[in-house]
Amino acid sequence: MSKRNENRMGYKMTKVGWIPEEWECVAFKSFAKLTAGGTPSTRHPEYWNGSISWMCSGELNLKQVLSVKGRISEKGLKNSSTKIIPKHSVLVGLAGQGKTRGTVAINEIDLCTNQSVAAILPDTTKAYYLYLFFNLDNRYEELRRLSTGDGGRGGLNLGILGTLKIPLPTLSEQNEIAEILSEWDKAIEHLEKLITAKSKLKKAFMQQLLTGKHRFKEFKSNKWEKMKLHDLLKPVSRPVSRPDKKYLALGLRSHGKGTFLRTVDNPEEVMMDTLYEVKENDLIVNITFAWEGAIAIVNTSDEGALVSHRFPTYVFKKNKATPEFFRHIILTKQFVYKLGLISPGGAGRNRVLSKKDFLNLVLSIPQLPEQKKIGAFLNGLDREINFLRNRLKAFTEQKKGLMQKLLTGNVRVRNRG
C-alpha cells in the first residue's frame, strides 16, 4: 500500500469525490445489466415447491447468499416476471419497510428473486462483483436517501441504480481491494462465530450450574436449600431530596439487559420531591416492567445514581447470598417467569410487581462458597465474551475506515504478493 497523497496530485474531482486520475467514474448501466425479480401467483400451487431457489428481500441480510428458503417450479419461472440470476451478481433491496431497502448482498448460487430485489450483473471484463458489493454496501445510507416516495416508505428502482456513479479502478486493482476487504470479513466472521459459541457454552453452563445438575466436586456433598428471598435480601432505602441541579438517573432495560444511566438536565420537571440513591451490588427491580425481566445488579459505574420509588432496592445478606451468583440467577427464564406471576394487572404493560410477593419468592440455592465459585466461573465466561465483542467492534470500525480509503483511492494497492 502507498500513503495518501495529501495535496491531491494525481487525483481528480468527480461526482463521487476525489479519485485517482487513472480511475473512471461511471454509471452502473455502462458496465452491467440491471434487472428485478418477480413472484409467481400463489393461486397456482404448481408454481411453487419446485427445485429452483427463490429468495425474498428479507434474505438480503445474509449478505453472502449460499442458500434460501423459497422454491419455485419451472412453471412458476415461466409464468412470472422472475428470472434466473447467475451466481456472483450483486443484489440490492429496492423496497420494503425497515432496513431492507438499500441492503446489498451477493449470491453464491444461481437463484430467482422477488420484485423487491434488483440484481446487478456486471460485465466481468470491466468489473469484479465483490468490488461492486463492497462499494454499494459502503453506500447504504446514500441508497436510502436516493429512495423515492414520501415518509421514508419509498423505494429504489432500476433507473436510479443504473445512473448511480461508481469509481472504477482497473480490474486487477478491483480484485486486490476486494481481496483485502474479504480477509477482514473473514476475521470478523471468525469473531462472530467465537462469540456465538462462547454464548452457547455459557448458556449451557448456566442451565447446569444454577440448577445443581452440575456441581463442582468440592461441593457435591453439600445440599442445596430452599429459601425465600427475604432470607437472602434486605430492603434498603436511601432517600435524598430531589437535586436542584442536573443529576444522573438510573434506568433498567427489560429482558435482563442491565442498567443504563441518563442525565436529568431539568430536575424541576421531575414530579417527585424525594428520590433514592443506589450503590454498587444492590439488587434493583423496576416494578412496572419486572415481568419483562427489568431487574439487575447495580454496577460500580452506577453508584450514586438516583431512582424513583418504582425501583425498590435490596442489599444481600453477606452470610447468605452473593451478588455475583444472583447476577446470573435473575437472568434465567424460570426467575423471570416467577416475576411475571407476582406482577398482576391488565393486558399490555399495566402490570405492577408486588414487593411483598417478591420477598416471598422461593429459590433453591447452594451455600455461600459454592455460590461464589459458580458466580466467578460464569463471570469469567462473561469477561471472555465481552473481550471478543469489544474486539469485534474494533475490527468492524477498522474495516469501515479502511474500506472508505480503499474505495476512494485514498489508499492504493499495487502488486500485492
The pLDDT value given to residue 347:
62
Is residue 331 domain-resident? yes
Residues 344 and 410 in one domain: no
Q: Which domain holds residue 334?
A: 225-365
- Contacts with 133 (C-beta within 8 Å, 6 or more apart), sequence order: 90, 104, 105, 106, 178
Is residue 266 domain-resident? yes
Residues 31 and 162 in one domain: yes
How many CA atoms, within 13 angstroms, populate the side-chain half-sphere of residue 188? 14
The pLDDT value given to residue 99:
81
Task: Residue 229: give its domain's CATH number.
Answer: 3.90.220.20
Q: In what order do the strands lie in the sheet with 313-316?
A: 233-236, 313-316, 283-285, 295-297
Task: Residue 180: give its domain's CATH number.
Answer: 1.10.287.1120
Is residue 394 domain-resident? yes
Residues 358 and 389 in one domain: no
Q: Residue 327's CB: how many other CB atoms inside 10 A?
A: 19
Domain final residue pick, 329, 346, 365: 365
Residues 155 and 178 in one domain: no
* 150: three-class secondary structure by DSSP: coil
Residues 250 and 148 in one domain: no
The pLDDT value given to residue 148:
60
- Contacts with 333 (C-beta within 8 Å, 6 or more apart), sequence order: none
CB contact at 8 A, 123 and 151: no
- Contacts with 212 (C-beta within 8 Å, 6 or more apart), sequence order: 224, 364, 366
Per-residue pLDDT of the chain (417 residues; tens, 9 = 90+): 444 445 578 999 999 999 999 999 999 999 999 999 999 999 999 999 999 999 999 999 999 999 999 999 999 999 999 999 999 999 999 976 568 899 999 999 999 999 999 999 999 999 999 999 999 999 999 998 887 654 445 678 999 999 999 999 999 999 999 999 999 999 999 999 999 999 999 999 999 999 999 999 999 999 999 999 999 999 999 999 999 999 999 999 999 999 999 999 999 999 999 999 999 999 999 999 999 999 999 999 999 999 999 999 999 999 999 999 999 999 999 999 999 999 998 765 678 999 999 999 999 999 999 999 999 999 999 999 999 999 999 999 999 999 999 999 999 887 544
Element (H, E) at 403: helix 368-408
C-alpha cell read off for 94: 429496492
The pLDDT value given to residue 239:
97
CB contact at 8 A, 68 and 111: yes
Is residue 9 domain-resident? no
The pLDDT value given to residue 3:
44
Amino acid at 220: K
Residues 300 and 324 in one domain: yes
The pLDDT value given to residue 71:
97
Residues 148 and 48 in one domain: yes
Q: What's the pTM?
A: 0.82
CA torsion angle 369 375 376 380 (round to 10): 160
Distances (CA, A) of 34 to 38, 76, 95, 121, 122: 14, 21, 16, 6, 9
Residues 234 and 334 in one domain: yes
User: What total number of domains does the chain contain?
Assistant: 3
Residues 230 and 204 in one domain: no
Q: Rounded CA gap, 294 and 201, in Å?
A: 24
Q: Tell which residue, 97, 143, 138, has the closest CA to residue 118.
A: 143
Q: What does 169-217 look like in DSSP terms, one character per residue?
A: --HHHHHHHHHHHHHHHHHHHHHHHHHHHHHHHHHHHHHHHTTTSS--G
Is residue 2 domain-resident? no
Is residue 11 domain-resident? no
Residues 43 and 147 in one domain: yes
* 367: three-class secondary structure by DSSP: coil
Residues 140 and 234 in one domain: no
CB contact at 8 A, 280 and 322: no
Domain final residue pick, 365, 381, 403: 365
Is residue 15 domain-resident? no
Residues 236 and 346 in one domain: yes
Is residue 3 domain-resident? no
